[in-house]
Amino acid sequence: MAELATLPEYMLQNAQQMGDQPAIRLKELGIWKSYTWSQYAAQVRELSLGLASLGFGREDKLGIIGTNLPRLYWAQVAAQCLGGMAVPVYQDAIAKELAFVLRHSQVKVIVAENQEQVDKILSIKDELPDLQWLIYCDDRGMVGYDEDILKSYAEVQAAGRTFDSANAGYFDAEVGKGKSADVALICYTSGTTGDPKGVMLTHGNLLSCGRIFVANEDVRASDDFLAYLPMAWVGDTVYGLVISLLVGATNNCPERPSTVMRDLRELGPTGIIAPPAIWEGMLSNLQLKGASASPMKRKAFTYFSGIAQQIEDLKFDGKTIPLGLRLLGKLGEFMVFGPIRDQLGMRRARWCLTGGAPMGPDTFRFFRGFGINLKQVYGMTEVGGLVSLQPDNQASPDTVGAPCAGIEVRIAEDGEVQIRGKGVFAGYYRQDDKTAEAMSEDGWYRTGDAGLLNEKGHLVIIDRAKDVGKLGDGTPFAPQFVELKLKFSPFINEAVSFGHGHPFISAMVAIDFETVGKWAEGQGLPYTNYMDLSQKREVVALISEEIRKINQGLPEVSRIKRFLLLSKDLDADDNEITRTRKLRRGFIAEKYGPVIKAFYGGEKEVALRLAVTFEDGTESFVDARMMIQEAA
């Protein structure tokens, strides 16, 4: 099959060659509704021509805001058909974040999911000087609005049909003008150290990464993927939209964000990608269910979990599995492993990927032991989301796999991982100085990650280069290593460790409110809210015991000496983490400065006034007094 130049060309090819096969589905009112590739192309064509009738054209930007919906995916491709660029944004972003991204990207048209998102955009309309049209998909509640810029999705498509009648051949001609070097997507980074940057990814960038992934993974036209990750994350585009267009696989959109796990179990996708936080959440739920099950089921879960761990460890070390252990594994498959895979919706999954952040080795081996083909993939927005991938028989929690063929990786003298390949971005939109900083003098992208290539040629990521430090005695200190160990506990949702320049390691811990809440209910422990629950002495004792267990498996120098339970979870609205749940360490160190001072000043408690940000950008303050605990 010839390599086409743009995403819309692949869409049209699919419509021609597999027109009656499902391209995308949406679950509505409990029923999966399918759209074939022919219907997909027809929907995109009508919307694209409707956009053209509104004056949208080459190099214009189209914003996307909402949950995963066929209409929003069609809108991305429709803009690209005209030589425009899609700018998806996080649907849960507060007004201040949205205003920055949409203003900076100079969006001309925004396609919004529903009334909620329309209201959000209208509240910042005066801050968006380039915005001309706001198109809404769902017309429920859209009465009484007199904004001139508002149009319904159906209205724009109707205008497209009229435009098509008067401009025969216009659509095909515009698609034909598309080139591999045209920017298809502006994807804004998570902004861990400042304002997000607009990463310009061309059709060539995205298709190169998609082709490399298909060459390295078992991907088929008959595959089903669950489209549930934020559309603003590059992983949703590359491992969903692009792969679907390349091979003809089917994307499936859940009914609502709240039904994702239920829809996952019902669909049983053949392949899935999820960040570590989702896998950790699944594991926490399994551990909690195992602990609260009947004594017999609890014993079976604990026993066969241990068997799975033994088998996985032997496989990892390349050792022979004794016959008795193999037989126990088969029994565990019948009694525990198979039913749990089915419960998780992994019964058909041939490959399951995790990426976007490091995953703890305990979590990784747990799922591998239960027969889930979990593998790590490494990439970032600036390289199209793909650098390295683990083969099925070389999955390891210690590496992120071998660099894929066609992607070059080198380790700079200072230990930084650097990348060169066709997936490397075209630059940061309207930030040439930042683009220059991101590239080496000889044209390699500087990732900012510290890493190495091991003896097998697999890439090992240590931490963000700027975060790797040393304890006061010179011992190397990688914060993520400690944090991943902590987050393996089902009772811990987030953790931030400190130690650079200090005599020991300390940590702030945010409890998992749902899991700890269920534990508290089982103990007959009343509570009112997160703050109340997190500061109860019984919960402090629970987390103390978890940290004691974790410390036992750590070298003496890496053990946590002091910790504190936060009175609120870390929140993207409060700038403590990004929308992809990466820690904004600089901001946290400043905001929680008194806590760090108390850790290393020998204090037993600390008082804080914490700002809480609401969706409209307004702030409130919460006063909290938290006790500092000594870890065993």
Sign of CA dihedral 49, 53, 54, 60: positive
Buried b (16+ CB within 10 A) or exposed e, 246-281: bbbbbbbbbbeeeebbebbeebbbbbbbbbbbbbbb
Helix count and strand count (H, E) for the chain? 23, 28
How much is the pTM? 0.88
Number of neighbours of residue 586 by Cβ within 10 angstroms = 13
Domain ranges of the chain: 7-270, 276-347+349-417+446-464, 469-630
Number of neighbours of residue 295 by Cβ within 10 angstroms = 7
Please report where in the chains the tokens 């607009």 appear, as a residue.
Answer: 198
pLDDT band at 7 (very low <50, low <70, confident <90, very high): very high
Q: Which amino acid is at 335?
A: M
Decide whether 7-270 matches 469-630 in CATH topology.
no
**pLDDT at residue 192 in the model:** 59
**pLDDT at residue 319 in the model:** 87
Percentage, residues of the chain above pLDDT 90: 72
3-state secondary structure of 365: helix
| Neighbour-count burial of 442, counting CB atoms closer than 10 A to its CB (0-12 exposed, 13-18 middle, 19+ buried) | exposed
Task: CATH number for 469-630: choose from 3.30.300.30, 3.30.70.120, 3.30.70.60, 3.40.50.150.
Answer: 3.30.300.30
Across the range 224-241, mean pLDDT stands at: 94
Which residue, 318, 401, 392, is CA-closest to 359? 401
Q: Which amino acid is at 325?
A: L
Which residue, 481, 450, 475, is CA-closest to 554? 481
Name the least confident of 9-13, 217-221, 545-549, 606-610: 606-610
Please report where in the chains the tokens 């091991």 appear, as a residue.
Answer: 454
Which residue, 244, 207, 267, 202, is CA-closest to 74? 244
Rounded Cα gap, residues 172 and 1, in angstroms:
21
Could you give phi then psi for residue 576, rounded to 5 degrees? -85, -30
Task: Please identify, in words, the CATH class of the domain defined by 7-270.
Answer: alpha beta
Radius of gyration of the chain (CA): 25
Per residue in 554-613, pLDDT tens? 888 889 999 999 999 998 888 898 887 788 888 899 999 999 999 999 999 998 887 777
If phi over 0 gives left and psi between -120 and 50 gives alpha, with beta otherwise, what is residue 208? alpha
Rounded Cα gap, residues 78 and 74, in angstroms:
6
pLDDT band at 617 (very low <50, low <70, confident <90, very high): low
